[in-house]
Amino acid sequence: MGDSNPMTALQAELARFRKASLHTAVRDVDKVLDLLIQAREQIANAPEPHSVSLTMTKLQNPMMAGFEAINGDLKEVSKAQRTYGKALDKLTPTWQNFPQHELPTDYDAMASHPNLISRAVAMHLLREGQFSAASTFLRESHDQPPPTTTTSQNPPVSPGPDIDSLQSQELQEKFANMYSILDKLKDKNLEPAIEWARANRTELEARGSNLEFELTKLQFIWLYKGPQVNGLPDDERNGRAGALRYARDHFPPFQATHRPDIQRLCASLLYASNLPASPYDSLIAPTLLFEDVAASFTREFCSLLGLSAESPLYLAVTAGAIALPRLLKYTSYTKAKRTEWTSENELAFETPLPRSMIYHPIFVCPVSKEQTTELNPPVMLLCGHVICMESLQHLKRGTRYKCPYCPSEGHALDARVIRL
């Protein structure tokens, strides 16, 4: 006698549907492939022609049994799909029996982290040089801290870093120094930036940064082109003579690491009378180089403070504004269809962010259709195809695997983990 409760019937059919997996069909297909591979090897190594026909004759019955097993597996899966679909159709008129939940879009992930929000705002103001506004914000945040919201959607968490840990006076002085140097760079004065790079040479070299050489190189170019670009006097301190003197005084520390660049720069002095027709004209372009070196200086200055080159608050707000139209459209659709996301930890659609905002490359395994993680990294097979580690484990037969996209086979230990 059937169960009169549609929900109970649906749960029973769902349990049967989960048991009717395609894994059994895949195993039976692998058995058929193994039979064909063995037959191919026997035929290739057959000592006499009549052995080929004998091998083919022996292969007929196992192959027929294998195909019957595969068809039976597929029929079980198809039957489970049909019965589950019928049970779901019976339940459709009584959708009110499903428990009602708020959509995950109503979840405020930052409601339980007020300190992090205040910290991000304060850091943004400091990074933008709004020191007075930052001081006022820090003082008011200390005197009137925002309440921590705790609901079923926002469970309590351990408190984040206290906003008082921001050493606002020290950071203000550092950022004030950065903006002072950037203002000098806008006025084509490179000396403050060069002095800062020299003072932090050890830290910059540890990061593999070429900032000090790029600044020194730009100073050489600026002296070289000064009489033509900004009307500097062509004397022993400017022009070709001044650039040569500057190169002798400041290029030697970079001989070991930038010798080819130094040689090209010095060789360009020979073409000073006809530089536009020389092969070094594109090398000497101070106007564009000043913009590049200012961006490099900002990036390296922030990195030594343990900060990103751009404000995280700016990036978060900009990325959110880009994603908001699609998010609102998807929310309206899910509410109209009375559905919800299957995962609260990721979006149900891709957000078209610009390349400048993409920091962590994502690889989706073509076999499992899941994103790779640290525990499930992407691996490259010997044939060059890339899948995730879990998919490789499922494909293994003993210690060997067969690529799901080409006839290549190999040992699982030979697959190489890829670091994106």
- pTM exceeding 0.85: no
Tell me if 229 is assigned to some domain: yes
User: By C-alpha distance, which of 162, 156, 200, 159 is closest to 178?
Assistant: 200
- Shared domain for 190 and 286, answered yes or no, is yes
Tell me if 164 is assigned to some domain: no
Tell me if 342 is assigned to some domain: no
Last residue of one domain, picked from the residues 304, 319, 342: 304
Tell me if 341 is assigned to some domain: no
Q: Spell out the SS3 assignment of 357-381.
A: HCCCCCCECCCCCCECCCCCCEEEC
Tell me if 195 is assigned to some domain: yes
Last residue of one domain, picked from the residues 67, 94, 121: 94
Terminal Cα-to-Cα distance of the chain (whole angstroms):
57
What b/e readout covers 73-102, taking b as 16+ CB neighbours within 10 angstroms? beebbeebeebbeebeeebeeeeeeeeeee
- Shared domain for 87 and 192, answered yes or no, is no
pLDDT for position 195: 92
Two tokens, residue 24 = 């059994």
Two tokens, residue 74 = 């597929």
Q: For residue 372, what are the domain limits? A: 360-417
C-alpha pair distances (Å), 168 with each of 11, 193, 299, 306, 315: 58, 23, 20, 15, 22
- pLDDT tens digits for the chain (420 residues)? 445 566 677 677 777 777 777 778 888 888 888 888 888 888 877 777 777 778 888 888 888 888 888 888 888 888 877 887 777 666 655 545 555 554 444 556 666 777 778 888 888 888 887 878 877 887 787 777 666 555 444 444 433 345 555 555 777 788 888 889 988 888 888 899 999 999 998 898 888 888 888 888 888 888 877 666 666 666 667 777 888 888 889 999 888 888 888 888 888 877 777 766 777 666 655 556 777 888 888 888 888 888 877 788 888 888 888 888 888 887 777 777 666 555 545 555 667 777 777 766 678 888 888 888 888 889 999 888 999 999 998 888 888 888 888 888 888 888 888 876
- Shared domain for 178 and 282, answered yes or no, is yes
Last residue of one domain, picked from the residues 304, 321, 346: 304
- Shared domain for 185 and 259, answered yes or no, is yes
CATH code, domain carrying 403: 3.30.40.10
% helix, strand, coil for the chain, step of 5: 65, 5, 35
- Shared domain for 387 and 288, answered yes or no, is no
- Shared domain for 289 and 182, answered yes or no, is yes
Tell me if 221 is assigned to some domain: yes
pLDDT for position 4: 57
Contact status, residue 175 vs residue 127, Cβ threshold 8 Å: yes
Ordered alpha helix ranges (H), 158-270: 168-186, 191-199, 201-206, 211-229, 239-250, 255-267
pLDDT for position 315: 84
- Shared domain for 372 and 285, answered yes or no, is no
Tell me if 58 is assigned to some domain: yes
Structural domain tally of the chain? 3
Tell me if 184 is assigned to some domain: yes
